[in-house]
């Protein structure tokens, strides 16, 4: 899952001395229905280096990543192979998420 990948990347970054926070947003509709104070407590405006990991289309996630953020996701389809091989091909690896955080 994306959360597992994000947590593994966070562990790798923590080992390098980076302070990382992983947030899971299973429903953007529920999140958007919250008041601004709550949304700011989950995604503080002062944090601009955000990386979103999404095993799907990235379009809706850029608003949460912000203009200084990055999104690791799938924007092309039609490939056929075992899931592990496809995840590697599409950059769903700890190394790629770490590289996006450090970029």
Q: Is the pLDDT of residue 76 over 90?
A: no
CATH code for the domain of 60: 3.40.50.920
Give the structural domain span for 65: 2-102
Nearest to 43 by CA among 66, 27, 59, 16: 66
| Predicted local distance difference test score (pLDDT) of residue 86 | 84
Q: How many structural domains does the chain have?
A: 1
- Between CA 71 and CA 49 the distance in angstroms is 11
Q: Is the pLDDT of residue 79 over 90?
A: no
> Could you tell me if 45 and 89 are in contact, meaning their C-beta atoms sit under 8 angstroms apart?
no
- Between CA 94 and CA 102 the distance in angstroms is 12
Q: How far apart are the first and last CA of the chain?
A: 23
- At 5-55, the pLDDT tens digits run 999 999 999 999 999 999 999 999 999 999 999 999 999 999 999 999 998
Helix (H, G, I), strand (E, B) or coil at 40: helix
pTM value? 0.86
Q: Is the pLDDT of residue 80 over 90?
A: no
């Amino acid at each position: 899952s994306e959360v597992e990948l994000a947590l593994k990347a966070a562990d790798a970054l923590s080992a390098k001395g980076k302070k990382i926070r992983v947030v899971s947003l299973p429903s953007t509709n529920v999140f958007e229905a919250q008041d601004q104070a709550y949304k700011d407590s989950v995604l503080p405006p002062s944090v601009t280096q955000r990386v979103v990991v999404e095993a799907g289309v990235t379009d809706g996630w850029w608003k949460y990543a912000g203009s200084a953020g990055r999104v690791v996701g799938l924007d092309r389809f039609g490939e056929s192979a075992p899931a592990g091989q496809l995840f590697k091909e599409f950059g769903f690896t700890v190394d790629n998420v770490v590289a996006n955080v450090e970029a």
